[in-house]
């Protein structure tokens, strides 16, 4: 199982997951050119994608989708209400715009989407199962509902939103309605939220943790890392033995190989 977060944040999201021979892309929020380049760099190749999965219709998750679908014959799955909410939907090749069911098999990977609380039509996160391992991806969520907790539990790899530092957001330059939206139940998870979510999972296995969708205005990689690590260590978890933390970026790929071969 390989995870490559090609880009993460409000300027664009795209994550490639590779399970044996099967590679899937979650979200196409950066240009098709950048997706191709990113996949080339990690040795996967865009033409080898088995599917693209879209979490929700916000621009930072679909920006490159139209060009990607035009250039490459890859099938794309998302919820029917999300398809309806995509403004350029009518310009996409119909046969490859597929409805996302509650469970589907892509190659040798089982995929289970789960609902998340966010201000979009029908937003989802994803759990992936392959060869006895589980990976869960949850970004763009206002708070951690029971389905999200359930999806995160037992994961070997977690890609979890750590959007903002609450103090930076409160004292920052965003207008109040936007601050309120981010902090709402349908907004984004803070660093502290991410830390406590991970602690409450009470994992009894090593977890690779990717902190994702960091705000450029209201967060910093070092603050996100320190905050989440602090909460985990306070709760008795040890770095390396219990967890490995990766911080993701809007403009560079962050990769792990959960089998520890890379």
Structure tokens at 105: 């098999």
Residue 60 binds Zn ion, judged by CB under 5 A: yes
Q: Which stretch binds Zn ion (CB under 5 A): 72-80, 139-147, 201-209, 251-259?
A: 139-147
Which of residues 60 and 122 has its CB atom nearest to Zn ion in the complex? Answer: 60
Q: How far is 13 from 18, CA to CA, in rounded Å? A: 17
60-68, 130-138, 151-159, 227-235 -> range binding Zn ion (CB under 5 A):
60-68
140 touching Zn ion, by CB under 5 A: yes
To the nearest whole angstrom, how small is the minimum distance from the Cβ of residue 61 to Zn ion? 6
For 244, phi then psi, to 5°, come to -120, 130
CB of 43 to Zn ion, least distance (A): 27
Per CB under 5 A, 165 contacts Zn ion: no
The DSSP bridge partners found for residue 137 are 126, 159
Among 34, 36, 58, 134, binds Zn ion (CB under 5 A): 58
Residue 170 CB, shortest distance to Zn ion, in Å, is 20
The string of DSSP codes covering 110-152 is EEEEEE--SSSSS-EEEEEEETTEEEEEE-S-SS--HHHHHHH
Q: Indicate the residue among 54 and 135 with the shorter CB distance to Zn ion.
A: 54
Instruction: For residues 49 and 42, give the distance between their C-alpha atoms in angstroms, rounded to a whole number.
Output: 13
Select the span of 56-64, 81-89, 142-150, 197-205 touching Zn ion (CB under 5 A): 56-64
Looking at the chain, list the stretches that DSSP marks H as alpha helix, in order from N- to C-terminal side.
Answer: 32-41, 59-62, 65-71, 80-85, 146-152, 166-171, 176-183, 191-200, 221-234
**Residue numbers at the binding site for Zn ion (CB under 5 A):** 58, 60, 140
């Amino acid at each position: 199982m390989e995870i490559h977060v090609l880009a993460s944040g409000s300027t664009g999201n795209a994550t490639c997951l590779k399970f044996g021979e099967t590679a899937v892309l979650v979200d196409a929020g950066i240009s098709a050119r950048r997706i191709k380049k990113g996949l080339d760099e990690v040795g996967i190749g865009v033409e080898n994608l088995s599917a693209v999965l879209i979490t929700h219709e916000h621009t930072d998750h679909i920006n490159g989708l139209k060009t990607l679908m035009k250039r490459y014959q890859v099938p794309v799955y998302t919820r029917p209400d999300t398809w309806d909410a995509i403004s350029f939907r009518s310009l996409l090749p119909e046969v490859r715009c597929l409805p996302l069911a509650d469970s589907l098999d892509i190659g040798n990977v089982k995929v289970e989407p789960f609902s998340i609380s966010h201000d979009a039509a029908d937003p989802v996160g994803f759990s992936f199962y392959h060869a006895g391992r589980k990976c869960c991806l949850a970004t763009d969520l206002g708070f951690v509902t029971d389905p999200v907790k359930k999806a995160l539990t037992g994961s070997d790899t977690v890609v979890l939103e750590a959007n903002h530092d609450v103090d930076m957001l409160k004292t920052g330059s965003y207008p109040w309605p936007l601050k309120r939206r981010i902090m709402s139940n349908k907004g984004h998870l803070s660093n502290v939220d991410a830390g406590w979510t991970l602690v409450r999972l009470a994992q009894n296995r090593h977890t690779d943790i990717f902190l994702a969708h960091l705000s450029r205005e209201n967060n910093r990689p070092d603050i996100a890392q320190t905050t989440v690590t602090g909460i985990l260590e306070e709760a008795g978890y040890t770095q390396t033995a219990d967890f490995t933390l990766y911080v993701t970026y809007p403009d560079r790929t962050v990769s792990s190989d959960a089998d520890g071969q890379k």
